[in-house]
């Protein structure tokens, strides 16, 4: 994982635990019937055999490819991307817009990469882990092909950092010294790569954001919580750490950050002056701050500088969607983008173009470039939509609904074509994880399948506590306020009941990770208003979750959930934990989890499923031996999707799809 490519919404995920939990024993109940379509690494209970027609109809939606921009070839001859042609995403090279994708890696695990700056031969640094463990290892791939040379120790967890301007060294974060602390290492990228400890840390969380143009300094950020970080300069030769003093309010969140092209400035997004992360330019010598996005009431999400030409590119998270800006010769202007999200900004070596990944809600994510002079957007990769007609894809609309305290809660709403007061449709509420994350409009084949094939409306709410809506909103679910976010789901159920085209008697909730907790909590709070719940790698008990997570992660999670060592919080968790309230669940439940999950222990799934079964409620379970926090391998993911489809169809009383295309909604 390359930390420098992370956006602020995902920053916390880069700091998640560094250990693999002991596997809990499988449930003692007898397994369900055999299923020839179930992958060998997956065990199920109470799950009926997947229907062949469901698998056949899903196949096209699951065959939809996406492509992600990794960076320009340093010689300017094309770009590197990741895309999947087999079961896992691999690195490819594309020489021109629309040109064929030339595969460069052939690994069993999903892999990502970064081109090494200054290496005209296109050398890459690769990163991947095995079996969902998230213990990422780094490798040097000379000339972008051949046999990778391992840089890291082969067993610890690592995160990527910036390269030096000449491409001779890079920063790697790793926990080789002990599982709790993530130290900073300096990797020398020669014929025989070496790794040297640069900055050991003790129960702190430092990441390198950028490397100065003269190669002497690093721009570091100490992460405390999603609302507090502490930037600093690090002198490589002297190992001296010098904090950067923030103006106005502290604590504040600071990220992303970059060195300026002139060597004397630092560009930084920070919310030190208000609710949102504004972009500012710090003159290090004068100590003055110049605010350049104060008139934009949204977080700055991505930041990139053209070291040669002095241009600055940044995006804002505007109600979940990306807006793109360029600063040139002191003037800021917005560049046109369709509805979607942008990630991985990088200037072309000639400074005339900007490359990135553009993910739209009604088209697969692809690699794009935009001409900085004309604003013309050029699509470089054309990911196949599985043979489906892209014109059938549904685009969401942004809605807002009032919650219990009058606060407006945003949600993206995918409505099936043909939904009307005379044809009311069931609803799936899909809740994001984090919780300090956010649903942002991007393409998901499952959203399109639910809408087009099953006639299900899909809602993606950003309940209180979600990122992207300011500091106040972010903190509205902290500690003892945890269940206020669950009340937002109750308010969404009220909103659904007011929509003439939606059926309030047929509503299900689904979510992963923290979203899995939200699913379980919603089932205990609204047992008579929900038909079903799908919990993927979710938290069943904050008490057991915080107890079993690594010591490294505990303080990070306590900042969000509360300190379980405090008797008052222990009592609070005992009252709100879904596991403690399982007797309230009246809905169907599906629980899916990877046994190697390094974030949420597998025991969270097994104890919840066992408890609900003990109480006489039906539970389907899908457990994968070779997965971690989510189902990353395509065969496992495809199977789980088919199970979810059958589960929802049964819960809503819908016929399962046939292997024939669905007829038009209004023939």
Structure tokens at 612: 């609900």
pLDDT of residue 661: 52
Strands laid side by side in the 278-283 sheet = 254-259, 265-270, 278-283, 288-291
pLDDT of residue 632: 85
Mean pLDDT of the chain: 90
pLDDT greater than 80 at residue 123: yes
Q: Is the Cβ–Cβ distance between 427 and 496 less than 8 Å? A: yes
pLDDT of residue 554: 55
CA distance between the termini of the chain = 48
Q: How do strand 149-150 and strand 137-141 relate by DSSP bridges?
A: antiparallel
pLDDT greater than 60 at residue 12: no
pLDDT of residue 610: 97
Phi-psi region of 262 (alpha: psi -120 to 50; beta: other; left: phi over 0): alpha
Give tens-digit pLDDT for 563-582. Answer: 777 888 889 999 999 999 99
The count of other CB atoms within 10 Å of the CB of residue 390 is 12
Q: DSSP per residue over 594-611, as a string? A: ETT-SSS-HHHHHHHHHH
Q: Is the Cβ–Cβ distance between 601 and 16 less than 8 Å? A: no
Of 419, 414, 418, whose CA–CA distance to 396 is shortest?
414
pLDDT greater than 70 at residue 357: yes
The count of other CB atoms within 10 Å of the CB of residue 121 is 12
Strands laid side by side in the 79-84 sheet = 67-72, 79-84, 89-94, 101-103
pLDDT of residue 250: 78
Give tens-digit pLDDT for 286-331. Answer: 999 999 999 999 999 999 999 888 899 999 999 999 999 999 998 9
pLDDT of residue 664: 44
Q: Mark 161-197 as b/e (b = at least 16 C-beta within 10 Å).
A: bbbbbebbbbbbbbbbeebbbbbbbbbebeeebebee
My answer on whether omega of the bond before 435 falls inside 30° of 0, hence cis, is yes
pLDDT greater than 50 at residue 14: no
Rounded to whole angstroms, the Cα distance separating 329 from 340 reads 28
* Chain centre to alpha carbon of residue 430: 15
Q: Which residue is listed with tokens 């079993």?
A: 548
Given this structure, which CATH class describes domain 38-61+387-652?
alpha beta
The domain segmentation of the chain, as residue ranges, is 38-61+387-652
Q: Is the Cβ–Cβ distance between 149 and 193 less than 8 Å? A: yes
Q: What is the pTM of this model?
A: 0.88
Q: DSSP per residue over 187-235, as a string? A: EE-SSS-EEEEEE--SS--EEEEEE-TTSSEEEEEEEEETTEEEEEEEE
């Amino acid at each position: 994982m390359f930390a420098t490519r992370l956006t602020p919404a995902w920053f916390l995920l880069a700091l998640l635990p560094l250990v693999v939990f002991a596997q809990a024993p499988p449930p003692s109940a007898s397994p369900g019937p055999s299923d020839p379509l179930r992958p060998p690494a997956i065990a199920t209970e109470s799950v009926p055999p997947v229907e062949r027609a469901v698998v056949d109809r899903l196949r096209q939606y699951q065959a939809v490819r996406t492509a992600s921009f990794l960076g320009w070839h340093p010689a300017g001859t094309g770009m590197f991307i990741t895309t999947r042609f087999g079961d896992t995403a691999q690195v490819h090279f594309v020489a021109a817009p629309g040109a064929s994708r030339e595969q460069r890696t052939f690994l069993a695990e999903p892999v990502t990469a970064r081109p090494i700056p200054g290496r005209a031969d296109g050398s890459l640094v690769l990163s991947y882990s095995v079996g969902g463990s998230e213990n990422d290892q780094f490798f040097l791939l000379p000339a972008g092909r051949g046999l990778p040379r391992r840089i890291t120790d082969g067993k610890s967890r690592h995160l990527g950092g910036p390269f030096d301007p000449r491409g001779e060294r890079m920063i790697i974060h790793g926990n080789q010294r002990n599982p709790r602390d993530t130290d900073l290492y300096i990797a020398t990228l020669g014929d025989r790569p070496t790794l040297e400890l640069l900055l050991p840390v003790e129960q702190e969380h430092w990441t390198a954001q950028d490397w100065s143009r003269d190669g002497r300094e690093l721009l570091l950020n100490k992460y405390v919580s999603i609302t507090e970080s502490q930037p600093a300069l690090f002198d490589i030769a002297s190992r001296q750490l010098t904090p950067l003093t923030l103006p106005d309010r502290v604590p504040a969140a600071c990220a992303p950050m970059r060195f300026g092209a002139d060597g004397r400035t630092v560009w930084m997004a920070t919310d030190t002056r208000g609710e949102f992360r504004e972009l500012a330019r710090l003159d290090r010598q004068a100590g003055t701050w110049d605010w350049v996005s104060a008139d934009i009431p949204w977080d700055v999400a991505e930041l990139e500088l053209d070291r040669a030409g002095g241009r600055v590119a940044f995006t804002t998270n505007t109600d979940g969607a990306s807006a793109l800006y360029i600063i040139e010769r002191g003037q800021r202007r917005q560049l046109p983008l369709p509805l979607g999200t942008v990630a991985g900004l990088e200037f072309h070596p000639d400074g005339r173009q900007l490359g990135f990944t553009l993910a739209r809600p009604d088209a697969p994510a692809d690699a794009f470039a935009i001409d900085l002079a004309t604003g013309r957007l050029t699509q470089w990769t054309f990911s196949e939509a599985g043979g489906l007609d892209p014109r059938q894809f549904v685009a969401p609309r942004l809605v807002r609904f009032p919650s219990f305290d009058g606060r407006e809660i945003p949600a993206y709403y995918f409505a099936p074509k043909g939904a009307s007061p005379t044809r009311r449709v069931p609803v799936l509420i899909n809740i994001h994880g984090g919780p300090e994350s956010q649903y942002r409009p991007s393409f998901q084949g499952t959203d399109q399948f639910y809408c087009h094939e099953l006639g299900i409306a899909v809602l993606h709410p950003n309940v209180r506590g979600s990122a992207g809506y300011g500091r106040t909103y972010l903190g509205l679910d902290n500690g003892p306020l945890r269940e206020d976010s669950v009340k937002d789901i109750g308010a969404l159920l009220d909103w659904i009941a007011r929509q003439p085209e939606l059926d309030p008697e047929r509503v299900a909730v689904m979510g992963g990770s923290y979203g899995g907790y939200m699913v379980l909590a919603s089932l205990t709070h609204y047992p008579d208003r929900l038909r079903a719940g799908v919990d993927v790698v979710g938290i069943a008990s904050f008490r057991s979750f915080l107890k079993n997570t690594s010591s490294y992660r505990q303080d990070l999670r306590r900042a969000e959930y509360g300190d379980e060592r405090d008797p008052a919080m222990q009592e609070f968790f005992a009252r709100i934990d879904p596991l403690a309230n399982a007797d309230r669940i009246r809905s169907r439940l599906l629980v899916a989890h990877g046994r190697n999950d390094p974030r949420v222990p597998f025991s969270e799934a097994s104890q919840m499923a066992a408890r609900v079964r003990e109480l006489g409620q039906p539970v389907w379970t899908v457990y994968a031996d070779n997965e971690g926090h989510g189902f990353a391998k395509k065969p496992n993911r495809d199977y789980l999707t088919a199970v979810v489809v059958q589960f929802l169809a049964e819960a809503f009383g819908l016929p399962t799809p046939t292997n024939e295309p669905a007829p038009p909604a209004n023939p």
